[in-house]
Copies of this chain bind each other. A is one copy, B any other.
Amino acid sequence: MNIAVAQSGGPTVAINASLMGVFEQALKSVEIDKVYGSLNGIEGIINQNLVVLNDLVKGEEDIELIKTTPSTVLGSCRYKMPSPDDKPEVYEKIVECFKKHNIGAFFYIGGNDSMDTTDKLSKYTMQNGIDVKVIGIPKTIDNDLCYTDHTPGFGSAAKYLATTMQEIVRDSAVYDLKSVTVVEIMGRHAGWLTASSGVLHANGETAPHLIYLPESEFSAEKFLNDVRAQLEIRNSVIVAVSEGIKLDDASYRSGKVDNFGHEYLSGIGKLLENLITEKIGCKVRSIELNVMQRCSSHLSSKTDIEEATLIGSEGVKAALSGETGKMMTFERVSNNPYKIEIGMVDAKLVANAEKVFPCDWITDDGTNITHEAIQYFLPLINGEINIKTKNGMPVHFIIKK
């Protein structure tokens, strides 16, 4: 039989490593002949827009190059899977594609929305007696998927963040004057990525001095008092703020929503910058780390890339052993030495749910993270990868579509 694999949702730097995990395991499996790559997520299956990875990926060098290429080499989508009752023709097209290409298993690398697709598709195939296993491979820099210790892509985003925040700390400290630097960090309504900037404390940095997460209530008045108190004890105050913090005044939100009804978040950093200018009046700068948080493959965590590869491979093993409708998971067995095991969970349980940052990992004053949280984050950012370069710039693998 053949298999198919697709990538969905927002990019990460580890999603191509999971793709190669699937591909490498397929090469090792006598049951599997070809590996089809579906272009632009499930839309590639629906529209029969496929590539044969065995033809495009020539040997070990390409595999390693793809693992260190950011974003999705197969493209992505934000397609919301309808129910079979509403649009049976979508499912019929998918099954037609599966049958035509003798596809016996489909792997969907994505976040919680992709797990919704994994769940719906696996139920449809089971209920209609179609022998195609459907397995979800987690990915998101937001780390907000339930039932897994963490998600592939998160560790590298956290490593980018720690490195960049530390460099911003140095940059912000040069002048002999009071200043505040507000760094706006992704993560939607979960504070994992913003909180992870606290790992700097493990290397003796006092920054970030204030961390604001969506999991805590945010009050502009308390924020200004927190900043004033920090300005009393140091020149350069560094604030890490999640794009998803809840303001009483919702006027900063863009109001735009994506296909899943999620709001596009951004602008909170600028808003807080203006607030400090108006109410405190010291030098202030806001920095939006933007998509660099999810595409800076040159700062990938070795642990993350290796784990992303592993969980892709394990997904293939799970499908071959008859599993379907599951998402693969990480279980943390121990922290020191760091050790994980691979598990799985019903994709239905993960779909459309969100795992938030634990409240007891936030310090009592609500403005930083605990030692326990730091211990959770540290193994995930561990290790550096070697990037192939040409002319002083990284080399990426590109599939011409």
Q: Are A291 and B298 in contact (CB under 8 A)?
A: no
Min Cβ gap A291→B in Å is 5
Cβ of A322 within 8 Å of any chain B Cβ, yes or no, is no
Cβ of A168 within 8 Å of any chain B Cβ, yes or no, is yes
Q: Are A75 and B176 in contact (CB under 8 A)?
A: yes
Min Cβ gap A8→B in Å is 10
Q: Are A202 and B383 in contact (CB under 8 A)?
A: no
Q: Are A170 and B70 in contact (CB under 8 A)?
A: yes
Min Cβ gap A349→B in Å is 27
Cβ of A297 within 8 Å of any chain B Cβ, yes or no, is yes
Give Cα A241 to B167, complex, Å. Answer: 24
Q: Are B164 and A72 in contact (CB under 8 A)?
A: no
What 1/0 flags go to A363-390 for Cβ under 8 Å of B? 0000000000000001001111000011
Q: Are B166 and A396 in contact (CB under 8 A)?
A: yes
Min Cβ gap A2→B in Å is 23
Cβ of A77 within 8 Å of any chain B Cβ, yes or no, is yes
The 4 closest A-B pairs by CB, nearest first: A171-B295, A71-B170, A381-B392, A76-B174
- A378 touching B391 in the complex, CB below 8 Å, given contacts A70-B167, A167-B297, A173-B75: yes
Chain B hits for A219, CB < 8 A: none
Cβ of A335 within 8 Å of any chain B Cβ, yes or no, is no
Cβ of A233 within 8 Å of any chain B Cβ, yes or no, is no
Cβ of A200 within 8 Å of any chain B Cβ, yes or no, is yes
Q: Looking across the interface, which residue of chain B has its beta carbon closest to that of A266? A: B285
Cβ of A82 within 8 Å of any chain B Cβ, yes or no, is no
Cβ of A395 within 8 Å of any chain B Cβ, yes or no, is yes
Q: Are B298 and A299 in contact (CB under 8 A)?
A: yes
Cβ of A393 within 8 Å of any chain B Cβ, yes or no, is yes
Chain B hits for A134, CB < 8 A: none
What 1/0 flags go to A180-221 for Cβ under 8 Å of B? 000000000000000000011011000000000000000000
Min Cβ gap A195→B in Å is 16
Chain B hits for A174, CB < 8 A: 11, 71-72, 75-76
Cβ of A178 within 8 Å of any chain B Cβ, yes or no, is no
- A170 touching B11 in the complex, CB below 8 Å, given contacts A176-B77, A290-B287: yes
Min Cβ gap A57→B in Å is 17
Cβ of A281 within 8 Å of any chain B Cβ, yes or no, is no
A interface residue numbers (CB < 8 A to B):
11, 39-40, 43, 69-72, 75-78, 159, 162-164, 166-168, 170-176, 199-200, 202-203, 285, 287-288, 290-292, 294-299, 301, 378, 381-384, 389-396
Sample (29) of A-B pairs whose CB atoms are under 8 Å apart:
A11-B170, A43-B176, A71-B167, A71-B174, A75-B175, A77-B175, A77-B176, A162-B392, A163-B394, A164-B296, A166-B396, A167-B296, A167-B394, A168-B295, A171-B294, A172-B291, A199-B391, A199-B393, A202-B391, A203-B391, A287-B290, A288-B288, A292-B292, A301-B392, A378-B391, A378-B392, A381-B393, A384-B389, A384-B392
Q: Looking across the interface, which residue of chain B has its beta carbon closest to that of A76? A: B174
Q: Looking across the interface, which residue of chain B has its beta carbon closest to that of A183? A: B290
Give Cα A292 to B174, complex, Å. Answer: 15
Besides the known contacts A11-B170, A71-B170, A167-B298, 11 further A-B residue pairs in the complex with CB atoms under 8 A apart = A69-B170, A75-B175, A77-B175, A163-B298, A163-B394, A164-B292, A164-B296, A166-B396, A168-B295, A287-B292, A288-B290
Give Cα A168 to B162, complex, Å. Answer: 19
Min Cβ gap A258→B in Å is 11
Give Cα A173 to B72, complex, Å. Answer: 9
